[in-house]
Amino acid sequence: MPVPAGLTGHPREDEIEFSAIRAQGAGGQNVNKVSNAVHLRYAVAASSLPDAVKARLLAWRDQRISGDGVVVIKAQDHRSLERNRQDAVDRLRELILEAAHVPKVRRATRPTKGSQRRRVEGKVSRGQIKALRGKVGGGD
């Protein structure tokens, strides 16, 4: 996927806000006493991203993007805080790169004469096959 010029997909470190939280789910005593999960918050409108990328990000119906334009990512897969932090940044980077991708404009085209003819011939042959189905005439 081509990336627009000047966009690396790496969000600036000073634009990301991290908070350590306790992870949910199984994990024994460690999960109850250590705050290893990470909440990443990234304000899209206040970021240094190009305006077109900001607009595409804010237009998405994604549960990670709040109504006021803040991307919230929760990472809790790893036991260490640093690995969860890196996982959250990687997921944010993927989200930004996905928004940076400009979809190719589709131009409507007409089917060729040959494709129209082949389509009709196929329909006719299928109709003939179906017409041959039926009850076999019994001997009177």
pLDDT of the chain along its 140 residues, tens only?
454 545 555 677 777 888 788 777 666 666 566 678 888 888 887 788 888 888 888 888 877 888 887 888 888 888 888 898 899 999 989 988 888 888 889 999 999 999 999 999 999 999 999 998 987 776 65
- Looking at the domain assignment, is residue 69 inside a domain? yes
CATH code, domain with 21 = 3.30.160.20
- Domains identified in the chain, total number: 1
Within 8 A by CB and 6+ apart from 65, the residues are 44, 57, 58, 71, 72
Q: Do residues 58 and 51 make contact, with C-beta atoms less than 8 angstroms apart?
A: no
Regarding pTM above 0.85, the answer is: no
Q: Which domain holds residue 18?
A: 13-100
- Looking at the domain assignment, is residue 123 inside a domain? no
Distances (CA, A) of 10 to 58, 97, 136: 18, 9, 72
